Chains A and B, each alone.
Chain A
Amino acid sequence: MKILVAIKQVPDTATQMKIGPDGRSIDTTGITWIVSPYDEFAVEEALRIKEKRGQGEVVAVSLGPERVKEALRSCLAMGCDRAVHLNDPAWATADTLLTTHALAAVVKQEAPELVLCGRQAIDDDMGAVPAQLAELLGWPCACWIMEEAIDAEGKTVRAGRQVEGALEVFDLPLPAVLSAQKGLNEPRYPTLKGIMGAKKKEIREGKSADLGLAEASPALVLAGLEALPPRPPGRIIPGDVPTAVRELVRALREEAKAI
């Protein structure tokens, strides 16, 4: 079974974000880049499917500038067989939908039986790529999955998607798109052998023209980034516990009107 995993490189969760001088992009000075955590669950699940079936191929795909190769290299070190890097200045202002069109074109080239994604990338938090990819491909999808199992013939995947208050378990005919929620698995750490081996694995570059994509402008336009409005200064309520608790409840009731 061939599985394609779409991943994104994002700043580490501990990063303090600063706006760059253009007011539209982040200041990338000193940022540690990682594979978006939900995408690691997707990579891990793809590798487990391959291992369980005893055969198959896992291809990692990502769109972004040169630095994205490092993220793809991490996926190869975890065990992916090869990678596709969509690296073209034409995509510098791509919105979610243009990115998804590029990914869909790769899926059509590669013809996998399953596409796995993280539920959302933790930078722009749009969370739209998995569903939009399924729509562009005309495939079924299940988002925010907590479990999956593929039947022996490789025709159907049973996936449990997280909804409010329940897990809805569906049978989806393959090919299909799944997006990973935290809790699906515990991603492995690359071994030293994996890291060494990754250096020899293929990262194929893809350009917009190779994918036969027409030039298109984004449907959603970024106007700028803004700092969060500062929170008003708070106060520490002094006194022993009974006094402080009484004062807190009074303040929540009378000042903040929160209760």
Chain B
Amino acid sequence: MPGAFWCIVEDDRKGFPKKVTAEVIGEAIRLAGAAEALWVTDAATEEGLRELGAWGVTKIWLLQHPAFSPYQGEVWVPAVADLVAKESPKAIFAPVTARQREFVARLAARLGAGLAADTVGLALEDGRLTARRPVYAGKLLSKVTWAKPPWIATLRPNVFRPAEAQAGRTAAVERPAIATPEPRMKLAERREEVSTGLPELAEAETVISGGRGMKGPENYVILEELGRVIGAAVGASRAAVDAGWRPHRFQIGQTGRTISPKLYLGFGVSGAIQHLAGMRTSKVIVAVNKDPEAPIFKVADYGIVADLFEVVPALTEEFKRLLDKS
């Protein structure tokens, strides 16, 4: 429908939309009253399509072709840009993930449209979309608006309220004709990271972070054990990453990942300004540090001044007890 709010589906590469997609749909429906989904994939599943319908989209634009996996901007962009030209959506929203981040940037360049990346707040003011996005790694917020539609934005995970699935809601599935260029990039290898069995840092609802106070790489096992009990991702401060204790992909802060979990627990993290920049939009912040003067206590909702090596095992036991009961 011309003027529609489109939500780009992020999937698990197995044919199911991820939870971040529900967040994007929830926000689009809150703003516009209705939303449509756009799913670029090599293999959608019937359950996946049903799930999108249950989340409340009225229509699903399904662009399905083997060439769409693995993601390549040069293959996705022409297909989607053609559809945008035909259908004139007013807004195009996507969650912040590795491929969507790159894809919408390329799409915006193709369309000559404005892009607000990594937004944490969206509003319609006099019928025009405005966005708030952290800048200087979260030290300030920038308020932006668009000169013309389509309004293209990516939404930071865990910030927007997800659409809830309601049985009985269904969406019409449209399968437009697609022309795909020959991919020029060839996948040589996909190297899976050694899985910790814990959630991905950027999307996790609960994040545990270990800083210089962890004293060494071997001690992160106690954080991982706590992570398994409460379903949390485990990250690290720059000091710990620069010391070689954790790989770079686990770094939280201005030169790492910027995260907004519902609960952040920092152990032995001093709270250098560049670390705070990466996590201060977390909803609830807990800090455990031996040093009562550590700057992290200034942003913490709850602090314990104690040795983390005593607190972490006790906390793990207490959570186990609690979660076993419920």
Query: Residue B110 contacts which of A135, A162, A226 (CB distance < 8 angstroms)?
Result: A135
Query: Residue A226 contacts which of B141, B191, B249, B315 (CB distance < 8 angstroms)?
Result: B141
Query: Residue B98 contacts which of A95, A135, A163, A231 (CB distance < 8 angstroms)?
Result: A163
A128–B108 touching, CB < 8 Å: yes
B144–A221 touching, CB < 8 Å: yes
In chain A between 100 and 115, which residues have their CB closer than 8 angstroms to a CB of chain B?
100
Tell me the bound Cα distance from A38 to B134 in angstroms. Answer: 18
Chief secondary structure at chain B's binding surface: mixed
Known: A183-B247, A228-B139, A248-B302. A140 touches B108 (CB 8 A): no
B191–A169 touching, CB < 8 Å: yes
Known: A232-B301, A249-B318. A256 touches B251 (CB 8 A): no
The answer to whether the Cβ of A92 comes within 8 Å of any Cβ in the partner chain is no
B73–A134 touching, CB < 8 Å: yes
Query: Residue A141 contacts which of B102, B136, B280 (CB distance < 8 angstroms)?
Result: B102
Q: What bracket does the count of chain B residues touching chain A fall in? A: 35 or more
Query: Residue A164 contacts which of B97, B105, B187 (CB distance < 8 angstroms)?
Result: B97
In chain B between 268 and 326, which residues have their CB closer than 8 angstroms to a CB of chain A?
272-274, 277, 280-281, 283-286, 292, 297, 299-307, 310-311, 314-315, 318-319, 322
Question: What residues of chain A lie closer than 8 Å to B132, measured between beta carbons?
Answer: 226
Known: A128-B117, A170-B185. A122 touches B147 (CB 8 A): no
A219–B301 touching, CB < 8 Å: no
Question: What residues of chain B lie closer than 8 Å to A258, measured between beta carbons?
Answer: 206, 262-263, 283-284
A252–B109 touching, CB < 8 Å: no
Tell me the bound Cα distance from A171 to B187 in angstroms. Answer: 6
Known: A140-B74, A164-B200, A258-B283. A131 touches B193 (CB 8 A): no
The answer to whether the Cβ of A90 comes within 8 Å of any Cβ in the partner chain is no
In chain A between 170 and 209, which residues have their CB closer than 8 angstroms to a CB of chain B?
170-173, 181-183
Can you name the residue of chain B whose Cβ is closest to the Cβ of A129?
B105
Q: Quick one: CB contact mask for B123-144 with A, threshold 8 Å, 1 for yes? A: 0000000101111111111111
A123–B115 touching, CB < 8 Å: no
Q: Quick one: CB contact mask for B161-201 with A, threshold 8 Å, 1 for yes? A: 00000000000000000000000111111111101000010
The answer to whether the Cβ of B112 comes within 8 Å of any Cβ in the partner chain is yes
In chain B between 71 and 114, which residues have their CB closer than 8 angstroms to a CB of chain A?
72-74, 77, 97-99, 101-103, 105-106, 108-110, 112-114
Interface locus among A1-9, A53-61, A75-83, A239-247: A239-247
In chain A between 218 and 259, which residues have their CB closer than 8 angstroms to a CB of chain B?
218-228, 231-232, 234-237, 241-242, 244-246, 248-249, 251-253, 256, 258-259
CB distance from B308 to the nearest CB of A (A): 10
Other than A135-B73, A135-B109, A158-B188, give 17 A-B pairs with Cβ distance below 8 A. Answer: A15-B139, A100-B109, A126-B117, A135-B106, A140-B184, A162-B249, A166-B190, A172-B184, A219-B148, A222-B142, A225-B143, A227-B140, A228-B140, A244-B306, A248-B302, A256-B283, A258-B262
